[in-house]
Structure 1
Amino acid sequence: MWYVITDGPLKILKSNTVVAVTEGASQMVHKHRSEWTGEDKKKVNLDNVAKNILHKTLDKNTFSKIKMCYTAKEICEKLIQIYDGNEQAKENKLSAMQKFENLKMKAGETLNEFDECFSSLVNELAALGKEYGNREIAVKVMRALPRD
């Protein structure tokens, strides 16, 4: 079944007997559904089985991000993009996480200005796939505020 995820849905083909055979290899064409055997039907259904397995393993939040994907391969590629991302996304996420860890309220900065900066950073991280719980956010805000 893994090849359905890596290569996409299987295509049911047959030899094209109408076209002349060249160099010993016959040209393949799609087999009409009325010609499918029981084995062909099982092969075609493998993509549905793979999609079903992937759907059952995802939480509601992740499912909402992949629900528009048509094939198991598209789902897998989207999940890789979401959780791994490309190199630029990884760098952006790391940079934003470092900003988050090092964030401190500056001298002379108002609470509204700090809140705006903090919220923007939390939203940027969420867009990059890194989300913090309410407790983590509250602890970070408390540590970022000045002690005096």
Structure 2
Amino acid sequence: MFSKIKTCATAKDIWEKLVQICEGSDETKENKLTVAQQKYEAIKMKDGETMADFDERFSAIIIELNSLGKEYSNRELVLKVMRALPREWDVKTMAMRESKDLNKMELHDLFANLKAYEFELET
């Protein structure tokens, strides 16, 4: 890293070079955002995947999107998760849609509810 900034004359030059190295150019950021959005749009819970693993995978995509400046409302995230679940979860998600205010539901509350339901199914 030092070799890339040793020719910089001022602290400002060093800072700008570090930002470019760590974040990339505007074009690179735009490409990263496009890829992250494609991951978000295509995500589905995999066969045999636990809810904890799906939570981890989904959250990683959301963190990546947030770091690139893209944010979604709680409602958008909750509905996205519900749509990404396999058909066997339809009854649970339908019940949650009817009984909960999705505008106020936090993502961690949704996953806690789904993990509890998954645990009930396993016992």
- Superposition map of 1:61-140 within 5 A: 86-140=26-80
Q: Partners of 1:123 and 1:132 in 2: how far apart?
A: 11
Structure number having the greater strand percentage? 1
Structure number having the greater helix percentage? 2
Paired positions, count: 64
TM-score, length-scaled by structure 1? 0.42
Q: CA deviation at 1:142?
A: 0.2
Q: CA deviation at 1:96?
A: 0.3
TM-score, length-scaled by structure 2? 0.51
Q: Partners of 2:34 and 2:53 in 1: how far apart?
A: 23
Q: Partners of 1:88 and 1:147 in 2: how far apart?
A: 37
Segments of 4+ moved more than 2 angstroms = none
Quick one: higher RCO (CA 8 Å, sep 6+), 1 or 2? 2
Q: CA deviation at 1:105?
A: 0.2
Q: Partners of 2:77 and 2:54 in 1: how far apart?
A: 13
Q: What residue ranges of structure 1 are gaps of 5+ in the alignment?
A: 1-84
CA RMSD of aligned residues (A): 0.9
